[in-house]
Chain A
């Protein structure tokens, strides 16, 4: 025990002076650090031995029988209450909060997605892929108003109610075609001058049990591979205007779209 006493500042000397002799009671970081520095010195060794001897004597002080009968040792001190701050910054709580946040985020995202879903959305998305890969050469060139093609579709292809809505009826067309998609549905595709937009007309989804058309109100947005479409259902036929871009590019034409 001939370790040279380390240089301690006044605060550290004070902490060592009143450091609990039971190491388990030292919960203060600066006190622990100060004690660590003097741990091997003779003076601190004497202090510890002194305190331990006194504590042993204190433990030997007889406690009246009536007192020991009342309460067992340890019930006098209530367990330490955690503050809100301690609870909030507990790693377990933080981890749970992050997990709950992520789950809630996914749930909200899925919910929003479900709220925006509409019958025929998968077909609309598929047709957006078609739009992105379509070249003008595969369409029959035709220059007229988009609204005028309804008669053509009915007369030539027997497609009833394949009508272009009034919002897009005046747009000048470049070409059109009618084809069967992979689900054997008859699809009408129109290419217009305005923003190189493409229109699609396709049968609305039907209830698999009853066969009834699944209607939905107003305009609905759908997007796929940087293409955005806005879809409306009328008389069992869906109309979609598709454009390469975002909802903003279509918002001017359909103001109440969801």
Chain B
């Protein structure tokens, strides 16, 4: 969400501190996903305070069979930065979708999106990421037989 481990840790500690306080007062929210919800808004707040990603029209490419190999060449940090540069709610949708922790219904609840909106966010992001991949780590040409 933030593309910055230090900031993410600050947010995490703030959430834990808040959770400890609430638990001590017996006021933990009924929403079972409240921690993720809280993290989302805190991350958005923090990212708004820092440098903003420039809004640019992203190129979109069809998903390629070579994508897994291209992705495997990336550093995790590069992906984190790419996701943190996405506008919200696409950023939240991507971060939560790829965490592989939530069902579709939970994703809708956390992102406050409807299925068509979530589908658009994720579908567009795939194609934009594919375009970025093609530019950053171009697919390797298959070796020609002599």
Contact = CB atoms under 8 A, between A and B. Distances in A.
Interface string A63-86: 010110011000011111100000
B69 to A, nearest CB: 8
A58 B99 contact: yes
Nearest to A27: B103
Interface string B96-112: 01111111110100000
Interface stretch (A11-19, A118-126, A138-146, A158-166): A11-19
A18 B9 contact: no
A80 B129 contact: no
Interface residues of B, number: 44
B122 A77 contact: no
Contact of B71 (A47, A50, A59, A79): A50
Given A76-B35, A79-B32, A58 B67 contact: no
Interface of B: 5, 8-9, 12-13, 16, 30, 32-33, 35-36, 63-65, 67-68, 71-72, 74, 76-77, 79-80, 97-105, 107, 115-116, 118-123, 126, 129-130
17 contacts: A14-B116, A14-B119, A17-B122, A18-B97, A21-B100, A22-B100, A26-B103, A26-B104, A53-B67, A54-B79, A58-B100, A67-B12, A76-B36, A77-B36, A79-B32, A80-B32, A81-B30
